[in-house]
Structure 1
Amino acid sequence: MAEQLAGLADDRALLGRTSTAERVADILRSRIAEGYFPPGTRLSEDSVGGALGVSRNTLREAFRLLTHERLLVHELNRGVFVRVLTVEDVEDIYRTRALVECAVVRGLGEPPYRLDRLRAAVTEGDVAASGNDWKGLGTANIHFHQELVALAGSARTDELMRGVFAELRLAFHVVDDPHRLHEPYLARNRQILRALESGDRGAAEELLVVYLHDSLRRIVEVYRRRVGDEGRAAG
């Protein structure tokens, strides 16, 4: 926990003089998505508030916002915890991803598309894989899909999916072999990118549908083995 709190202390400068609950929530959301606070971690008001240099009321409001986003859960007389997803949660996350991501690709319009940031996400994955950083590759994969969604040019869609991808990272933490989980999808990301580079959004969507189906199946297999059919929710 000390290492995670030290990381939060580094983020304190981001708050500046306009510290708000929304900014605190942004920081915590990012830290959860990056894996600094795994599912089931208790977030102490005193420790987190002290690391960020914010008031208890501000922190509680940030916790409330993230609880509404289903990233945190409040347990009576125990405190606030990073949520542990159920199998049903994972299935719903992927249902949402399929609806949104495929619709974005389908609605891209005529090429060429602005793919620089999508290419950068693939490169980020290549670098992580070459260094055997499989957790980093998982982050790069999420970045790829965030940039895919960003092709829609919709701030509302970006905001919606930011929470979905943060929840997805909670699911990744249950997987005990991140290499096996993430490595196959680097090549698939590259295939989707190539289809978009060639202007074939139909082929890109077909690749994406299979990608999401296979990824869901693999994660659910792990969940059923490690968490159980009903999953375990922290509230």
Structure 2
Amino acid sequence: MTDYAIGDIQGCYERLRDVLDKVDFSPSRDRLWVAGDLINRGPSSLETLRYIENLGDSAVVVLGNHDLHLLAVALGGHAPKRKDTLQDILCAPDCDRLLQWLRRQNFCVHDQKRNLVMAHAGIPHIWSVEDAVSYAREVEAVIRSAQAEYYFTHMYGNEPERWDPGLTGMDRWRVITNYFTRMRFIADDGTLELATKESAGNAPEGFEPWFRFPRQDDVRVIFGHWAALEGNTGSDRFIGLDTGCVWGGVLTVMNLDTGEKIHCDC
């Protein structure tokens, strides 16, 4: 069995199948770790979502901001954005089943044997791995519960800007969500800067890319979300797999044990 990790697919179903063919991926013997943003902006969101859902236990999935956006439109009353490509999912006869499947996915996955964590945007240096997993489980429980509609109605927003263990309710859930799914630049005290989407060299004053801050552990972190990095973090510990497929870049899959990366032009 081989475990592979893949970056943001964003509805690029044909390119997904192309890159999996390159590694001879078989769900009967292999597993696919998906670093979030399965859907949206690409041409085939429904086919992508159905394919990953159909992998069953052969898929390990964390939620990205675009996946949460689908749920916010479906359950929280938010209007689709102009560039969204979600309508095929929302009109599909199996829409409800696919949404329920999405709600059962994680924000953070920790493989202790490999000393590896996967989260869509990463994990901030102010949290230990144990903290991150615990906070992920809090929000996962909310979106699987009867509180899901309330959560998705109020999910959007940049406040609070910084983690405080005393936070409660929606403020607590929102900032946890933002660290896991929207984080790029961060300050030493954990304050998030969520407006800037450029490359790591364009940090706003007082902020740095989240992976530049020292951690108190040696965990490796797999993440997506930041296409402008083109997969380059300058560190073997922090593995960026969003290589901008939907923007005409490449789709990247990585062997979790060897570190080999295979690309498919998009």
TM-score, shorter chain, exceeding 0.5: no
More strand by share: 2
Q: Which has the larger radius of gyration?
A: 1
More helix by share: 1
TM-score range normalised by the length of the shorter chain: under 0.3
